[in-house]
Homo-oligomer: A and B are copies of this chain.
Amino acid sequence: MFYHDKQLQYTVRVDTPSPVFAKMLQQAIGGVEGEIRVALQYLFQSFGARGPAKYRDMLMNTGTEELGHIQMLATAVAMNLEGSPAYLKDEMANADPLLAATLGGMEPRQFLSAGLSALAADANGVPFNGSHVYASGNIAADMYSNVAAEATGRVLACRLFDMTDDPGMKDMLRFLIARDTMHQQQWLAVIEELGGHPGTLPIPNSFDVSEELREVSYDFFATGIEGVEPPQGRWTSGPSLDGQGEFRVRINTPLGQEPQLAPPIPSGYAEVQQMSSETVIAPNTRS
């Protein structure tokens, strides 16, 4: 269960409010790289954790930390909107609010639906979607999902850092970027603890690899037509990362048949011309 404190995890200060930046910050709240996603992702991974309890507990700690980041960013959005054209309009009676809103590039629903506050949505106003909460039940798969989230999250935070000159906002982002630095390595540290590539690959490592078609397990499939050279790299030669095979290049060719489905069944109500696979005759009488 959860508790709260009245104070923010880290100072949120806005020196020069910017409604445009308030819109951009939404991506870090409700975007696919955002804090609602990572908070729920780590918490759901924790809630469903099977196996060593230490991972369940670790995920609970960091999921709880991320809840505080949602709060920081939502507070930052509200503060940035306190200088928005809609906000200022009340003091500038003769301003044209529509033009102002346009020039301001505001997210309209931050005003229309939320009264100058944050939404559970991304920078385009697309609502947060729970399908991004990855919790597969396989710890290595989950750790890589988490690394992906924190890597795209830190890229986003750095881009936001560069978009603003506001000292308060830069200070907040310095904190969040540093936390992403930690979290990337925290999840990778679990991979290391599990034995690194040899200990975890292929994921899941509990599937008996002799069941898979081993002759294509380490082949780079080149799909270019004749004359297109396959790209060379670490993935085209040398030992595989799991230490169990050798990378090779295979020019891709069909190994399967030409697909041929059965004719449609009557109750599927295809056109009558589809009922035979051979010829097409326009029907001229139907009762």
Contact = CB atoms under 8 A, between A and B. Distances in A.
A126 B128 CA distance: 12
A106 to B, nearest CB: 9
B158 A265 contact: no
Contact of A125 (B6, B68, B114, B124): B124
A6 B231 CA distance: 11
A80 B87 CA distance: 24
Interface in A1-40: 1-12, 18, 20-21, 23-24, 27, 30-33, 36, 40
Nearest to A41: B120
Contacts of A259: 8, 12, 47, 71, 75
Given A114-B137, A184-B202, A273-B139, A126 B125 contact: yes
Interface residues of A, number: 210
Interface string A52-80: 11110110111011011011101100110
A17 to B, nearest CB: 10
Interface in A124-170: 124-141, 144-145, 147-148, 150-152, 154-156, 158-165
A62 B19 CA distance: 30
A256 B135 contact: no
Q: Which of A104, A219, A267 has the most CB of B within 10 A?
A: A267
B112 A48 contact: no
Q: Which of A104, A154, A161, A208 has the most CB of B within 10 A?
A: A154
Contacts of A74: 44, 47-48
B182 A115 contact: no
B270 A139 contact: yes
